[in-house]
Amino acid sequence: MKKRRFKEDSIKRRAEQILGVDSEASEDEIKRAYRRLVLKYHPDRNPEDHNSMESMQLITQAYDLLLKGIDYDDPKQYELLEDEKLIRSILPKGIEPEPLGESYKDWHRKQFYEGWI
């Protein structure tokens, strides 16, 4: 039986993909990966790249999510992590972003409440 993937799990996996770390990465490894990407995509280093500001915001969002955790009641906290086009611009060629599943709340509502209302 295939394990169900919820959006919440996929968002965390996407953040790990963006920073290039695995799920067991330490805080120091996450910080190192973040600094490496900041140097690469910083708008001051790439003045001709019009997407560098969005790329930096995405990298920062991924970093914050991995270090601080995620508040799923605040969708603005992870909205850039849902933008596949932006994520593809950062990931190495040939690597696809983690597909998003449905959110746990939506799945739970469908499973338990859909026929009752």
pLDDT digits (tens, 9 = 90+) for 48-98: 888 888 888 889 988 988 888 777 667 666 677 777 777 777 776 776 777
CB–CB of 77/61 below 8 Å? Answer: yes
Indicate the CATH number for domain 7-91+98-112.
1.10.287.110
What are the distances in angstroms from CA 80 to CA 9, 12, 13, 67, 76?
A: 15, 12, 14, 17, 8
* pTM summary value: 0.72
